[in-house]
Amino acid sequence: MKGLSQMFHSSRSRSQLRSSRSWSFSEIEYSESRRKPHFIGKVLMTALLTTFCIIIVKQPPSFSSSNVFSRREAGVIHVLVTGGAGYIGSHAALRLLKDSYRVTIVDNLSRGNIGAIKALQQQFPQLDRLQFIFADLGDAKAVSRIFSSNSFDAVMHFAAVAYVGESMLEPLRYYRNITANTLILLEAMAAYDVKTLIYSSTCATYGQPEKMPITEDTPQVAINPYGKAKKMAEDIILDYSNKSAMGVTILRYFNVIGSDPNGWLGESPRPELREHGRISGACFDAALGIIPGLKVKGTDYGTADGTCIRDYIDVTDLVDAHVKALNKAEPNKVGIYNVGTGKGRSVKEFVEACKKATGIDIQVEYLSRRPGDYPEVYSDPSKIKKELNWTAKNTDLLASLQIAWKWQKSHRHGYESPLPWPFECSLLKNWVCLLIPDGSTDEAMVIYKEHLLV
Ligand SMILES: NC(=O)c1ccc[n+]([C@@H]2O[C@H](COP(=O)([O-])OP(=O)(O)OC[C@H]3O[C@@H](n4cnc5c(N)ncnc54)[C@H](O)[C@@H]3O)[C@@H](O)[C@H]2O)c1
């Protein structure tokens, strides 16, 4: 963004420079106006120069223009956050910005929110802190352009489709979006020598382990396309790291809840994804009256209260794990960690906490088991504690839900009504949307804040 304004400024100053040159040029002309042949030549020359200046000013700001994001700067670490318009990615971007990192977000807004980007820009309006690039990671050409015109020190790769149920219905979409896109990203990182990757993986890669808690050595036997696609992406990353100096951290998250304690960001999935949604989203939707109530499936598991047990990790702690991983990243070093609290909570416990947090007596229907649900899943987070000195701090379920509820209450319709997808640049009010010239698909565009062009 700064580059854009810089380019504009530099175009302006270049044109100013040129027009001031033509000024003095015409001064000379004026004084020498009696020498006619020369005069005509110079008028022509002036006209040519003026046209040239106009072309420069009118040219769409080039994606590859040199800007602050394209240069390495001593003491500044520039992190590419893929999926930064989504729930976890936006929280990670916020934390990185608070910690003085320079952040580029790449997102295709298929599931994320432009409102999250705006919220980040509102907090960090400085032109050299945050830029947003609208692009699809499945578009290898666009990804390559992003890397060629930016200078990244590290990548946090969050972008993904991420619903177990949906992955059963649309497996190919999951393998393409998760596995194939990770390959595209890795190829770009390799080509442009970006040596640090923090990868968002999931406890779904473990499938249905017999023994709890889950350690990093628990065999990964994923049982749905989502978990399998993430496992394949992990394998690709690890194979490449064996053959390169890339420093890699794979973080396998458990169930993520909560939101930014300042209330700047929240979780806002698209309405059409609600049916695949997660328990916290369903709980808030029920409290807001969007759905009639909660359906708890399975009350006869061999757990203390008969409902399933899960490990809920607060998003603030989760992004802290990312920053710790980034700080400890080294070339040739690979780290794989579970990110959870190490403590399982039952669905009944969660529902009670949700009722308390929202102050609403949510209607709960207890139903028979859903096929494919595993009774108990919780992590052993001792490896990440030992090696990254990370431990979950926000382990009070009620407190996490209270914070998230505050945001939900003040954003009853999410960030804003989501943009239709696929969309046209013209739908982005107050934003300037630039098509990347030559070759790239229509989906590869860059969006800058309008006021930067003024
Ligand atoms: N939420 C959880 O409980 C949880 C648990 C384990 C792992 N994860 C992982 O964390 C990551 C983030 O999850 P989330 O909950 O924030 O999901 P989210 O849907 O809120 O965010 C994902 C973001 O990625 C973007 N995206 C998707 N495909 C893209 C593409 N091809 N090109 C560019 N952008 C694309 C979406 O628009 C969205 O903004 C995912 O990789 C997910 O698998 C999440």
Please report, in tens digits, the pLDDT of each residue of the chain (454 residues total).
Answer: 333 333 323 333 333 323 322 222 222 233 333 445 566 666 666 665 555 433 333 333 344 445 788 899 999 999 999 999 999 999 999 999 999 999 999 998 899 988 898 889 889 888 789 888 888 999 998 899 899 989 999 999 999 999 998 999 999 999 999 999 999 999 999 999 999 999 999 999 999 999 999 999 999 999 999 999 999 999 999 999 999 999 999 999 999 999 999 999 999 998 888 878 788 999 999 999 999 999 999 999 999 999 999 999 999 999 999 999 999 999 999 999 999 999 999 999 999 999 999 999 999 999 999 877 888 999 999 999 999 999 999 999 999 999 999 999 999 888 865 455 455 555 544 444 444 433 344 444 444 433 332 2
Helix, strand or coil, per DSSP, at residue 73? coil
Distance CA 345, CA 225 (A): 26
pLDDT of residue 174: 98
Q: How far apart, in whole angstroms, are the C-alpha atoms of residue 146 and residue 408?
A: 34
> pTM score, two decimals?
0.83
Report whether residue 138 contacts ligand 1, using a CB cutoff of 6 Å: yes
> Residue whose CA is closest, atom 8 of ligand 1?
202
- Is the beta carbon of 108 within 6 A of some atom in ligand 1? yes
Catalytic residues: 226
Third-level CATH fold of 74-410: Rossmann fold (3.40.50)
253 lines ligand 1 (CB under 6 A): yes
Cis ω for the linkage preceding 422 (within 30 of 0):
yes
> Two tokens at 62?
């080039």
> Which letter does DSSP use for residue 210 in this model?
S
Q: Are strands 102-107 and 255-257 parallel, antiparallel or unpaired?
A: unpaired
First-last CA distance in the chain: 12
Residue 299: how many other CB atoms lie within 10 Å: 16
Written as one string, the DSSP assignment of 80-92 is EEETTTSHHHHHH
* 79 CB within 6 A, ligand 1: no
Q: Which two tokens stand for residue 178?
A: 């998760």
Pairing verdict, β 431-435 and 445-449: antiparallel
What is the token pair recorded at 397?
A: 């379920």
> CB of 85 closer than 6 A to ligand 1?
yes
Residue having the nearest C-alpha atom to atom 18 of ligand 1: 86
Rounded CA separation 17/321 (Å): 50
pLDDT of residue 37: 54
Q: Where are the domains of the chain?
A: 2-58, 74-410
Number of neighbours of residue 9 by Cβ within 10 angstroms: 12
Q: How far apart are CA 375 and CA 165, in angstroms?
A: 17
Task: Compute how many other C-beta atoms are within 10 angstroms of the C-beta atom of residue 15.
Answer: 18
What's the 134 CA to ligand 1 centre distance in angstroms?
15
The pair of structure tokens assigned to 2 is 């700064």
**Residue 324, H or E segment:** helix 315-328
CA of 330 to the centre of ligand 1 (A): 25
Q: Say how many Å lie between the CA of residue 163 and the centre of ligand 1.
A: 9
Best substitution site from 90, 111, 259, 310 to test ligand 1's pocket, by max atoms within 8 Å of Cβ? Answer: 111
